[in-house]
A and B are shown apart, each in its own frame.
Chain A
Amino acid sequence: MSDLLLVLTVAAITFASRVAFLVRPRPAPEGLVGRFLDVFPLALFVAIATSELLTPAGSPEVTPALAAAVGGIAGAAIFRRALLGVLAVGAVSFYVVRALVG
């Protein structure tokens, strides 16, 4: 498969997954499915954050990224869960700890 065809196929797969429930609107799911959809974004965001901050090298270990996670949580507490507060305190924690431990 050529690189161009690969890019186009990945684009088609990605768009198909995104458009699935949008192109043919269905009644809002209720019950278990509705509750699943309610909490899925939170679960996904936490999973991605965990993947990047707690297992940045593919396995749990103490790294500056862990300091970023702690700083981000502190930033969330200090700045009432504002995105900017999480980013600012987390980023400062990351770079300070990385400068200290290398």
Chain B
Amino acid sequence: MPASSSFRRGVRDSILIFFAIGAFGVAFGVVAVDAGFAGWLAVLASLLIVSGAAQFAMAGLVATGAAPVLFAATGLGLRHLPMSATLARLIGPQPLRTRLRMAFILVDETFGLTVHAAAAGVDDVVAYKTGADLTLYSGWVTGTVVGALIGDAVDPAAAGLGALFGLMFLGLAAPLVRRRRDWVVVATAVGATLAATAVLPEAWRLTGAAGAAALIGAFFHE
């Protein structure tokens, strides 16, 4: 049955990332409690927001007030717009409930896996993404619970979680590089991110760099 096999494939493909996401969930739980959030609020954040970038920004900026947090969340959320449009194209016509479910866990990791799987010809994109979403969601929330419980016993920097996070995205990007235009996008994204680090507020760096690189890629004709 295509749907169940696609679901299982989504689960299988995301098992490895489950552990990385779980580790980040632990890190978030630790960081959030350290930032002053109650443990149950850290878990609630992971249950409802499901965005490592937004949640880490929230924990990092909460001491400066609500406005910087909301500004950062908006800036980080902008990158979901094109992802949302891309996913809409991939899943085609679907009931509203399915589209809301697809949107709820529209995270970089499962989006990357879904784009990759769709390009590889998976039978049922919705079932595939559902399998990947549930796997990563359970890892993220479970990790947050653990992190909130163990408090500051874990040092994310000492464990090298940042590098593993970067490697995960490098791994998601690698299969998407197929044409000369893609290399232009890669080079531009690297350069734009380095430049943005120096000139843009943190909340806008990734969105600005990715937008600039994608725009140049859109103008590039093979």
Contacts and interface: CB of A to CB of B under 8 A. Distances in A.
B146 interface: no
Interface string B165-193: 11111111111110001100110111011
Given A6-B66, A44-B108, A46-B186, A72 B49 contact: no
A98 B79 CA distance: 32
B162 interface: yes
Contacts of B170: 45-46, 49, 53, 69, 72-73, 76, 86, 90
A43 B214 contact: yes
A18 B106 contact: yes
Nearest to B35: A3
Interface string A11-24: 10111111111110
Contacts of B141: none
Given A9-B70, A65-B162, A46 B103 contact: no
A94 to B, nearest CB: 5
A65 B157 CA distance: 11
B99 interface: yes
Contacts, number: 285
Given A6-B66, A25-B93, A58-B197, A17 B190 contact: no
Nearest to B212: A43
Contact of B163 (A44, A48, A68, A85): A68
Contact of A7 (B49, B108, B168): B49
Interface string A77-90: 00001111111001
Interface string B51-79: 10011001000100010011001101111
Nearest to A73: B170
A100 interface: no
Contact of B41 (A7, A23, A54): A7
Interface in B92-111: 93, 96, 99-100, 102-104, 106, 108, 111
A64 B108 CA distance: 24
Contact of A39 (B66, B100, B218): B218
Given A18-B80, A94-B160, A39 B70 contact: no
A5 B54 CA distance: 15
Given A7-B49, A21-B88, A65-B163, 12 more contacts: A9-B70, A17-B84, A39-B218, A41-B86, A47-B189, A47-B206, A48-B108, A49-B170, A54-B194, A55-B194, A68-B167, A76-B170
Interface of B: 16-17, 20, 36-38, 41, 44-45, 48-51, 54-55, 58, 62, 66, 69-70, 73-74, 76-89, 93, 96, 99-100, 102-104, 106, 108, 111-112, 115, 160, 162-177, 181-182, 185-186, 188-190, 192-194, 197-198, 205-206, 209-211, 213-215, 217-219
